[in-house]
Structure 1
Amino acid sequence: MATFDHIGITVDDVPSASAQFTPVFEALGYVRAHDADDLAYWRKTDEPEILLYPAREEGTGPHRHGRVGWQHLAYAVDSRDEVERLHGIALAAGWTEVREPKEYPRFSERYYAAFVEDANGIRLEFLHDPKGWD
C-alpha cells in the first residue's frame, strides 16, 4: 500500500520562505524540524512532511497560478473561525490575500474558505466543509 509521505516545494530563497511558512504551519500544528539556507521542513504526527528547497536556477520564480505545476494545497479545519484565524496569521506573515474568507456554494452548501499566496506564488487554502464531499 502506498501512502502520501511528503511534499517538496521549490522557492527562490529558503530562509525568506521559511519565515512566511513557519507561523502558518505552526498554527496548523506542524513543528519545524529543520531550518537552513538550503532546506527547511516541518513535521506533524500522521501528516506528510512539508519541505522547502531552493530553486536550481535563479530568477525562475515566482510560480504563476494556473500554469502547469503547483495549483494549491488545501487544509480542512474545524470551523469558520479557524479559517479566519489562519487567514489572519498568513496575512500577518506576509502572505497575499487571493480570496477573503467566504462561502463557496459551487463546492458544497457549507463550503467556507480563504486563499492566500506567498512571495513564491505558492497558494494555500484554508477550508471548513462540515458536510464533506457531496
Structure 2
Amino acid sequence: MPVFDHLGVSVDDVPSAIAQFDPVFTALGFTRYDADGSVSWHTEGETEFILLPAREPGSGPHRHGRVGWQHLAFAVDSRADVDRLHAVAVDAGWTVVRDPKLYPRFNERYYASFVEDGNGIRIEFMHNPPRESTES
C-alpha cells in the first residue's frame, strides 16, 4: 500500500501546467485522467498526482524555499532514466534548476536532476541504488 494516496497541487493555469506535466508523467508510466477543471495522473494502485486551479488566480508562482512545497522526488531505475526524464521535462518547457549529476553530499551513489515548471513547482529525478554488499 502506498504511503501517500494522492498529492494535489494548485496552479495558476491548468492547461499550461498540463502541457508541462503530461510529458513527464507519461514518461514515468502514469495514466492521465481529465476532470472538470482539473487533471490527474496515476498508475495502477499507486499514488495519484492532481493539478487543480488556484483558489486565488494570479497568486503564483510558488517560491522555492518558502513555507509550503519544497520538491517531489521521483526515484527511477538508472542514471540513464534520470537523464532521459530530465530531457523530457526540459523539452516540455521546465526550467533546469540543476542538471543531472552525482550528489556526494547525500552519498557516492546519489545521481539526480532538478527542474521547475512555470508555477514554481520543483521536481527531482533521482537514482540512488543500494550499496553493494561486501559479504561473501
If the TM-score is normalised by the length of the shorter chain, which range does it land in? over 0.9
Is residue 43 of structure 2 the alignment partner of residue 44 of structure 1? Answer: yes
> Match for 1:107: what amino acid?
F
Q: CA deviation at 1:46?
A: 2.8
Equivalent residue, structure 2, for 1:19: 19
* 45-54 or 16-25: bigger deviation: 45-54
- When the two chains are superposed, the root-mean-square deviation of aligned CA atoms in Å is 1.6
SS in structure 2 at match of 1:50: strand
> Match for 1:33: what amino acid?
Y
Question: Percent identity at matched positions?
Answer: 64
- The two structures have a TM-score, normalised by structure 1, of 0.93
Question: What is the number of equivalent residue pairs in this alignment?
Answer: 131
Equivalent residue, structure 1, for 2:95: 96
Higher Rg of the two aligned structures: 2
Alpha-carbon distance in structure 2 between the residues aligned to 1:2 and 1:119:
28
Instruction: Tell whether the 8 Å contact from 2:9 to 2:50 is kept in structure 1 after alignment.
Output: yes
Q: CA deviation at 1:85?
A: 0.2
Unaligned stretches of 5+ in structure 2?
A: 132-136
- The two structures have a TM-score, normalised by structure 2, of 0.92
Q: After the TM superposition, which parts of structure 1 deviate over 4 Å for at least 4 consecutive aligned residues?
A: none
How big is each residue's C-alpha offset from its partner over 1:53-86, in whole Å with a ceiling of 9 and x where there is no partner? 0011122100000000000000011110000000
Unaligned stretches of 5+ in structure 1?
A: none
